[in-house]
Amino acid sequence: MRIQCLSSQLINQIAAGEVVERPVSVVKELVENCFDAGATTIHIDIEQGGTRLIKIRDNGCGIEKDDLRLALSRHATSKIACLDDLEQVATMGFRGEALASISSVAYVSLISRIAGAECAWRVESEEADKVSTPSPDPHPQGTTIEVRELFYSIPARRKFLKTEKTEFSHIEMLIKRLALSHFEVGFTLVHNQKEVVKLKPALSLADKQQRIAGICGAQFIDQSSVIEVNSSGLQLSGWVGLPTFSRSQQDMQFFYVNHRLVRDKLVAHAVKQAYQDVLYHGRHPVFILYLALDPALVDVNAHPAKLEVRFREGRLVHDFLFSALHRGLATPSSASPLTLTPQHVTSVDSAQVSQNHSRTARELTSYRMEQMPFRQSSVLPSQIEEQMKRYMQVSQEVGGASLVTEQNNELPPLGFAIAHIHATFILAETATGVILVDAHAAHERVTYERLKQAFLQGNIPSQPLLLPIMFSVATEEAEIVEQMHDFFAPLGFEVNRSGVDTVVLRAAPALLSDSNLEILVRDVIADFRVFGMSQRIQEHSNEILATMACHGSVRAQRRLSREEMNALLREMEKTERSGQCNHGRPTWIALSLQELDKFFMRGQ
């Protein structure tokens, strides 16, 4: 075939293949247009999972009569006018191709009315890229767009769609996700004439939390910490779930960049690193996070459906996110400086106390850390082993100061020890109730954090390899090694480029002498290639330190004195991430006086 220009209809259908994957893609594009129009109420009406009808009505600013036909044309938009506008997009949509793409694979009608106009005006898309002449309509201020018979012009595309229930479930989840980023907007979602979602505008904090509870469950608010961090022109806010409140799937992770819902591997990597030694293996954290930054610093045009973004200063954003989340998880928000947020709260419905009290008692003792499968400790060089032993010894010589506080009758956040139950759990009385502490798990976290600080603050012993390890890499990776000398050297590695595509490892940290060093270095280089940084060396070190902390902590069935128990409680109050052990399980739980009253039906 000779080279020829494609028809407008085919061009739009090709674009639709990128933008309109399924009914939920149409809903996303149209609802985001509602946001750009300043709407405060959005009504979404769906029939047959969106294949028969998608109808969206808003009370936004509306579209001028003379612009209606243009709105259905390809690359027609009011949101950008020049390249400078494209480089700092502040709206949800901007390319002006969504409506044209949708109208090429479905029947579309558009009705809109601006403020002060005598009436609304209506246009309809016809075949072969034709749009009807505007006709008057009694529609109120705002816009309604109807999309009927989706993919009627591409029957093969319909074969790839799932069942009506599945397609609508995608739409419902999308609306809930969008509702978490635009609290000022009210949403109504109807499917086959049945109202499924009804959300009023949420302006106050209480209303926002109520919306979150309705979407993520009431437990999300109770088991999360508030994040609010500003630095270097970046602002991160929202809620992060406590490590003990995790999921088996990544279905409760919501991240927004300038109110835009995105999926970004750089963000995912930063979150994973922040939770790396507080989350149980195989579990996923939950969070609702909002990142605000100058629109010029983020490229939102990196994906046809605008689901991904590209940060111009990726390393800065990654480090900011990691630092903010790492610190937020280390020091959870609390009602007052003297109140430590409980990491796990067990509540009981008073109507079920009589039949459930024995089950609840079993739940309170379900965190025996001796049941955890710990790794065997590694054989370490003598100088490091002695250093760590001295540090462990210091951690067990704490005491004295807590007795002064007790004599002054001042209750610290975790209270004072009353008893050592079954030589495993510490029972302590607090100002608001009681707590139970798993002594081994708590001391393991305290010891682990101390070991990490000692390891990072001291000089890391480096051990020359008897036989240097030489291996081939890509030319680009060899160049990265040349640039990474300042990263490897302080960590005890001696890695050099010895050819166009060859790398040689001559020394490594003594702590990692039993590791597969070639794979470790390869993985670090790969991380730098993708993310511009790497935490793998620290992760390997932490794994060994965690094993040492486990074996260096008080064991279950060892009876502790009252002074030892109080000393451990005071150390927990000063230690970051003391609410979870190194494996992500809770180290302590709290019962308030109100919850104790419920156990025994007091006042009922």
Fold held by 205-330 = Ribosomal Protein S5; domain 2 (3.30.230)
The H or E element that residue 529 is part of is helix 517-531
* Closest among 526, 525, 520, 518 to 539, alpha carbons compared: 520
Q: SS3 sequence, 197-262? A: EEECCCCCHHHHHHHHHHHHCHHHHHCEEEEEEEECCEEEEEEEECCCCCECCCCCEEEEECCEEC
Residue numbers of the chain with a pLDDT score lower than 70: 15, 17, 95, 127-129, 303-305, 331-401, 403-410, 454-460, 511, 514, 531, 533, 535-553, 555-556
Phi–psi pair at 220, nearest 5 degrees: -60, -45
Return the CATH class of domain 458-547.
alpha beta
Predicted TM-score of the model (pTM): 0.69
Helix (H) or strand (E) segment spanning residue 382: helix 382-395
Cβ proximity of 334 and 546 under 8 Å? no
In the prediction, which pLDDT does 166 show? 94
Strand, helix or coil for residue 456: helix
pLDDT at residue 110, as a whole number: 96
Domain 350-455+549-599 matching CATH 3.30.1540.20: the answer reads yes
Distance CA 220, CA 197 (A): 19
Q: How far apart are CA 200 and CA 184, in angstroms?
A: 8
**Residue-wise pLDDT tens digits, 468-492:** 999 999 888 898 888 888 778 877 7
pLDDT of residue 556: 63
**Any idea where the domains of the chain sit in the sequence?**
8-199, 205-330, 350-455+549-599, 458-547
3-state secondary structure of 83: helix
The CATH code for residues 8-199 is 3.30.565.10
Q: How far is CA 282 from the centre of its chain?
A: 15
Cross-sheet strand order for the sheet of 260-261: 224-231, 234-241, 287-292, 253-257, 260-261
DSSP state of 511: G
- State both tokens at 152: 């009627």
And the tokens for 312?
């111009």
If you write DSSP's letter for every residue of 493-509 in order, what string do you get? -EEEE-SSSEEEEEEEE
CA distance 490 to 369: 35
Neighbours of 222 (CB within 10 A): 14
Distance between first and last Cα of the chain:
86
